[in-house]
Amino acid sequence: MSNTLEAISSLKSKLEKLISNYNFLKEENEALLRDNTKLLLLLEENKQKLINQKKEYDLLKIAKAINGSNDSVRETKLKVNTLIREIDKCIVQLSS
């Protein structure tokens, strides 16, 4: 009879420990998921900032070329031609 009680007591303590570990891991997982979500949002913000800064850089290069820099004249002409082609494509799509 005492073996049965010892087995039950041992099982009960192991079950309590298991439940405690489960609750700890569950809370830790939730915290990690929250952190992951925050980091993903931060990554998206940084990607958007990078895109905006690249656009600004390209505009500054064009402005510099327009102001008389001979190094970027060819590059500026190519960019303007690319923009014109994109506008033409948009017009074609809108008129279809």
Tens of pLDDT, residues 50-95 = 999 999 998 887 777 667 656 666 777 787 888 899 999 989 888 8
Greatest CA separation found in the chain? 100
Spatial contact of 61 and 72, defined as CB atoms under 8 Å apart: yes
Domains of the chain: which residue ranges? 2-95
Summarize pLDDT for 30-43 with one digit per residue, the tens: 999 999 999 999 99
Distances (CA, A) of 69 to 27, 55, 72, 73, 74: 60, 19, 6, 7, 10
Question: How far is Cα 77 from Cα 80, in angstroms, rounded to an integer?
Answer: 5
Query: Cα 68 from chain centroid?
Result: 39
